[in-house]
Structure 1
């Protein structure tokens, strides 16, 4: 399994453990040089958004993956975690609807977590 797929799977599972809503994995490697995968999810409030981010950071760090950068802070409604091959977006519900990244990246291929295995 390549490292991008492994990272995406770890991130997905960590998000799922923190009860993130509507987790989407979008394969964008064929249409963009930004990353191989976008993973998008939302929390129900700012505390849950932060818990999701902390959970992902901890799970990936345990496997030796460190973020190149994290944009946003504890009071943000959108936190971006850039791991190079994967970029994770964790939103508040309202901001996710507003920014609608799934529509912007609709040329990417939406995957299930099983597709990563």
Structure 2
């Protein structure tokens, strides 16, 4: 599975469960942590956990498992799924506003994901 296919699968999984404000940043020139960060948020801690579960499920169906996970406990405000070159950050809305990863990684290159998400009202 290529990076592009993984990115598409993750974005579609998040979108299918109504993740809010999905962003993909290409950060390979800025850090050794990974090539891409995917940032999204849920509307509650339960929604946040559901989003992470869906990403894991969709990728596991294609033979990809995270090398590391954080924040899977009850009441978790931030779940991180590490797929080595793609790091998925799923926040509770207020936690995302607090940490502002997009601002921290503002030098990252935004990736156009419009082809992978449903249009509003559809």
> Which aligned segments of 4 or more residues in structure 1 are displaced greater than 2 angstroms?
none
Question: So what's the TM-score if we normalise by structure 1?
Answer: 0.93
1:20 aligns with 2:19: yes
Question: So what's the TM-score if we normalise by structure 2?
Answer: 0.89
2:28 aligns with: 29
Q: 1:96 to 1:34 in 2, by over 3 A?
A: same
CA offset at residue 78 of structure 1? 0.4
1:35–1:84 contact (8 Å) kept in structure 2: yes
Question: Of Structure 1 and Structure 2, which has the larger fraction of its residues in helix?
Answer: 1
**Distance between the aligned counterparts of 1:68 and 1:45, measured in 2?**
25
Paired residue secondary structure (2:64): coil
**Distance between the aligned counterparts of 1:47 and 1:92, measured in 2?**
9
2:58 aligns with: 59
1:93 aligns with: 93
**Distance between the aligned counterparts of 2:2 and 2:33, measured in 1?**
16
2:5 aligns with: 6
The unaligned stretches of length 5 or more in structure 2 are 117-122
Q: How many equivalent pairs are there?
A: 115
1:49 aligns with: 48
**Distance between the aligned counterparts of 1:8 and 1:87, measured in 2?**
10
1:78 aligns with: 78
